[in-house]
Structure 1
Amino acid sequence: MYETAARMAAPKDSRIEFANSLRGFAALGVALGHFGGMFWTKPEVISYFTGTPILPTQNPLPWFSNIVLWPINVAVVGVAAFFLISGLVIPISIGRSSTVRFLAARVMRLFPTYMVCFTIVLAAIGAGSWYFGTSWPPISNSDIAIHFLPGLRALFGSRDIDGVVWTLEVELCFYLMCALAAPLFRRQSVLVFAIPVALAVAASIPNIRPDFVVSVSPYLVFMFIGVCFYYLHTGAISGVSAIAVFSVTIASTAVASFGVLQVSYMTEVAVSYLVGLAIFTLAYRFPNFVPKGRAVNFMANISYPFYLVHAIPGYVLMLIIVGGGGVSRTFAVAAAICFGAVIAAAVHYLVELPTRRMSSDIQRNTPPIAATKLS
């Protein structure tokens, strides 16, 4: 039996609403982990990224730091949710257009917004250096130029300037892998899951190339758990096959993690990734219980620019507020989140929405792709 890829890619409902709502909560989780945790517990990291003086470690820590850092790190939970959401929805985009148009649409959707947000990050670093009278961080012009194009930065091993670009580069690797496997996705073939197995094997072999892909293989394999949910949602797997596919993919994630990540780091983030997976699973199983509403939709809509732009400008603002003394630390966190949301909203309406429409036009103007599916 033959079906068009567009029809095959469509889930049982036209839009997986819970994933959209979850995106907003994931962005907030990342911000809370950064502002409520890292800012207070790792001042040397904040100084490294902002070029500002090192804030003395707070003792005792703000009450909310223990909530967002122990026993899980809500920032890591948020990143895990983002990865799973991408794994769930990207196969839908692949089914709607040709491989070339899919990649072109992804570039149009992601890169202009990233470039604007990175420019804002540079402005925040400059503002912090000016306010505190410190020198510009040791960032070369070539580091800055390469950073405007995520992916190139990873290939050249250039410095991470904004602290979030690595996750975007993981996403780009995932898009490329999905594009290469597009015929399998359009047939909804379970052979797609040979990719995470191959990544896990590669992660277990010393000194294998390319270095960057192997180094982020645990996250790439983890994203394929989201693909498992997509296959389950469309009915491509069920029953025993679903159990087998999920088991193989989760096991591959563990193998890749042991092969690449340091044990100390793995134990630190593993619980948070498992919690992220548990939250995603519950949201998938009980979508009606996922909060909705205007505020949730707003955060979901601005989640991408908010994720990109919240950290460095927020850190600089918090340093200025806390440095003044006599101000509630809770207020500093709330101010940083609101500041990031305002900037992200402006970027969303002025940059992201127009380029997203262009991205949609690229995919919409593609004629249906014939693809075979055995049934």
Structure 2
Amino acid sequence: MRLFAALSVLSFHWTAYVGIAGVWQGVTPKEVLPALNRVAAYGWLGVELFFVISGFVICMSCWGKRAGEFFTSRVVRLYPAYWAAVGLTAFVVLTFTQYARWGADEGLDTKTVLGNLTMLQQPLGMRHVDGVYWTLWVEMRFYLLFAIVVAAGLTYRKVVAFCGIWTIFAVLAPQAQIPLLTTFAMPNESPFFIAGIGMFLMYRFGQNLLLWGIVGFSWILALTRLTSIQTIYVGVLNHPLSWKVMALGVTLAFALVLGAALGLFNWVQWKWLTVAGALTYPLYLIHQEAGWTMIHFSLTRGLGVKSALLVALATALLTAWLIHRLVERPVSKWLKKGMDRSMATLRRVSDEPAPDKK
């Protein structure tokens, strides 16, 4: 499911995003690949599927864990592959500047790369080394909000209350016009996370009217926010999008995760899906800027459009696998050991009484 979402986003960036006219030798993707472009124009909906999955998985993975364990799990999961992706993308863009969409002439310098390594470049007001990183800031805000519930101790009642409170703030935020509230309420993205949480509660505790209400209400809110999201993507596509098709895509995203929560896909036991799932995160992180550079490079070497896309896809998948095997797995193990020791020390020292003042 995650690989499907990643490939959807990849197809959007490679064959629909109007900002890469230079990659296609000065013409728009719509002119190069008209048939694929019409479908890929909706590939960004894969991001919304990612958010629903994230709501489900985060709630599931941290159930019964302490706040420190939750923090450790997120650091270990997100940063190793991300650091590798930032370094690789910066290297590719700066080394093959003539084929890249942007580079040193447009602000890709050491300061920008270092800022990106924190994953906080967006609130710091810095440019992303790769544009897809914007979703990581969305995820981090979700983690920060959910960490409050984790710190209080996850229970069915608390998580349901969290879903309700977040929904209220997300609905009110656009009218309140308070930037900080909008930043954390995330009106456009919150319905997807909340729906995923509700689906996990169904998976763990069984179905009931309240949980169906959370999921259904989130689905309706997601559809109502499509107009706002549509405005963003029409700007980068330079042609209209059908609200009905977008609504169908959102509904499909909800249905896929809901089906998994209700056990409808338990029969799917293909071993290759485990590998595919492991490659999804690094593939997502490296596919945009480095992928565009590879496509442009291939075209200038005489490859046709289809061949250039296939070469770029094969290279991206291989690179994602290498990042997973050579960076993500070993660094994650090392990082987890260090984080576990650090958290153990923090708990031990925190429990020690303060020394008496003489």
User: What root-mean-square deviation, in Å, do the aligned CA atoms of Structure 1 and Structure 2 show?
Assistant: 3.2
Deviation sequence 1:69-88 (CA, Å, 0-9, x none): 25xx12x2321221111111
Local SS of the residue matching 1:173: helix
Question: C-alpha separation between the residues in 2 aligned to 1:227 and 1:135?
Answer: 40
Q: 1:127 to 1:53 in 2, by over 3 A?
A: farther
Question: C-alpha separation between the residues in 1 aligned to 2:79 and 2:324?
Answer: 13
Question: C-alpha separation between the residues in 2 aligned to 1:155 and 1:127?
Answer: 28
Deviation sequence 1:328-355 (CA, Å, 0-9, x none): 3121111111111111111101121124
Question: C-alpha separation between the residues in 2 aligned to 1:59 and 1:233?
Answer: 42
Match of 1:312 among 284, 289, 292: 289
Match of 2:113 among 144, 160, 165: 144
**Structure 2: which amino acid aligns with 1:241?**
L
Question: C-alpha separation between the residues in 1 aligned to 2:259 and 2:63?
Answer: 26
Counterpart of 2:279?
302
Q: How many residues align?
A: 328
Local SS of the residue matching 2:60: helix
Counterpart of 1:332?
308
Q: CA deviation at 1:188?
A: 1.3
**Structure 2: which amino acid aligns with 1:120?**
L
Deviation sequence 1:62-109 (CA, Å, 0-9, x none): 255245325xx12x2321221111111111222242102211221122
Question: C-alpha separation between the residues in 2 aligned to 1:67 and 1:262?
Answer: 15
Counterpart of 2:352?
none
Deviation sequence 1:178-225 (CA, Å, 0-9, x none): 1111256621112121223222222332133256435x4321332111
Match of 1:122 among 65, 90, 100: 90
Q: Which moved more, 1:199-208 or 1:338-347?
A: 199-208
Local SS of the residue matching 1:307: helix
Q: Which moved more, 1:222-231 or 1:99-108?
A: 99-108
Match of 1:287 among 261, 265, 287: 265
Counterpart of 1:345?
321
Question: C-alpha separation between the residues in 1 aligned to 2:201 and 2:103?
Answer: 52
**Structure 2: which amino acid aligns with 1:228?**
G
**Structure 2: which amino acid aligns with 1:354?**
P
Question: C-alpha separation between the residues in 2 aligned to 1:59 and 1:27?
Answer: 21
**Structure 2: which amino acid aligns with 1:208?**
P
Counterpart of 1:248?
217
Match of 1:98 among 58, 66, 76: 66
Question: C-alpha separation between the residues in 2 aligned to 1:28 and 1:134?
Answer: 23
Q: CA deviation at 1:254?
A: 5.1
**Structure 2: which amino acid aligns with 1:292?**
W
Q: 1:67 to 1:342 in 2, by over 3 A?
A: same
Match of 2:179 among 208, 214, 219: 208
Question: C-alpha separation between the residues in 2 aligned to 1:257 and 1:184?
Answer: 33
Q: 1:134 to 1:188 in 2, by over 3 A?
A: closer
Match of 1:199 among 158, 170, 195: 170
TM-score scaled by structure 1?
A: 0.76
Counterpart of 1:12?
none
Deviation sequence 1:220-258 (CA, Å, 0-9, x none): 3321110010011111x6332122222333344456666
Counterpart of 2:149?
181
Q: CA deviation at 1:359?
A: 6.3
Contact kept? 2:93, 2:103, Cα under 8 Å: no
- Name stretches of at least 5 consecutive residues in structure 2 with no aligned partner: 235-240, 345-358
Local SS of the residue matching 1:213: helix
Matches within 5 A, 1:19-34: 22-34=1-13
TM-score scaled by structure 2?
A: 0.79
Give yes or no for the alignment of 1:220 onto 2:190.
yes
Which structure is richer in relative contact order (CA contacts within 8 A, separation 6 or more)?
1
Q: Percent identity?
A: 21
Question: C-alpha separation between the residues in 1 aligned to 2:8 and 2:211?
Answer: 30
Question: C-alpha separation between the residues in 1 aligned to 2:101 and 2:208?
Answer: 63
Local SS of the residue matching 1:218: coil
Local SS of the residue matching 2:78: helix
Counterpart of 2:139?
171
